């Protein structure tokens, strides 16, 4: 049943593929866990390197309403930021870059999508989470596609 749900979500995303603004994968960066909450003592107050291999982010734009679709191939799960209760706002835009602010209850994230100096597409993800297990994170990933003309 779980696989059927993932398949249906995947098929529905294919139907909206022409509305995709960006398709990105594999962020690498650092995470900091402050001395607070349910983090074990060895992880507190320590920056550590992390990667997100197997995860894909698709940005969609439906008449000015952006969404981030997260798919995790290792867990066979797909999440929509909007369906999870996020508020998403376009906060900056140029011909070769745009940024989205994604606000969840207890978490603020910024995703910046751009064309790097070498001509390749990339995104930068920063996050501050104050609830559950507090953390601060910054990562850079690669994008296979960014359609800047769809950003409005």
Question: Six-digit token pair at 68?
Answer: 């981030």
For residue 16, pLDDT beyond 70: no
User: Taking the CB of residue 125, how many other CB atoms lie within 10 A of it?
Assistant: 21
Specify the pLDDT at position 46: 64
For residue 6, pLDDT beyond 50: no
Q: What is the pTM of this model?
A: 0.80
Q: Mean per-residue pLDDT for 112-139?
A: 92
Domain that holds residue 59: 2-150
Domain CATH code at residue 51? 2.40.128
For residue 22, pLDDT beyond 90: yes
Q: What is the DSSP letter of 79?
A: E
* DSSP secondary structure string for all residues of 98-150: EEEEEEETTEEEEEEEEE-TTS-EEEEEEEEE-SSS-EEEEEEEEEEEE-GGG
d(CA 57, CA 143): 9
Question: Six-digit token pair at 6?
Answer: 């993932």
Specify the pLDDT at position 53: 65
Pairwise pLDDT comparison (76 vs 11), residue with the higher score: 76
- Tally of structural domains, the chain: 1
The answer to whether the beta carbons of residues 69 and 58 sit under 8 Å apart is: yes
- Residue-wise pLDDT tens digits, 91-115: 999 999 999 999 999 999 999 999 9
Specify the pLDDT at position 36: 66
Q: Mean per-residue pLDDT for 1-22?
A: 51
The answer to whether the beta carbons of residues 125 and 27 sit under 8 Å apart is: yes
- Residue-wise pLDDT tens digits, 23-81: 999 889 998 877 665 555 555 556 777 776 668 899 999 988 999 998 877 778 899 99
The distance between the two most distant Cα atoms of the chain, rounded to a whole number of Å, is 47
Q: Which of 101, 56, 93, 94 is nearest to 75 (CA)?
A: 56
């Amino acid at each position: 049943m779980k696989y059927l749900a993932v398949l249906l979500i995947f098929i529905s995303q294919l139907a909206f593929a022409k509305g995709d603004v960006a398709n990105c994968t594999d962020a690498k960066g650092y995470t900091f866990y402050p001395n607070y909450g349910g983090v074990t003592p060895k992880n507190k107050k320590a920056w550590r390197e992390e990667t997100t291999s197997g995860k894909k982010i698709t940005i969609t734009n439906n008449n000015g309403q952006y969404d981030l679709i997260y798919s995790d191939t290792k867990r066979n799960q797909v999440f929509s930021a909007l369906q999870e209760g996020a508020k998403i706002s376009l906060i900056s835009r140029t011909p070769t870059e745009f940024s989205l602010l994604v606000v969840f209850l207890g978490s603020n994230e910024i995703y910046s999508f751009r064309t790097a100096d070498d001509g390749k597409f990339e995104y930068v993800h920063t996050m501050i989470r104050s609830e559950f297990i507090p953390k601060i994170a910054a990562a850079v990933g690669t994008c296979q596609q960014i359609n800047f003309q769809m950003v409005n």
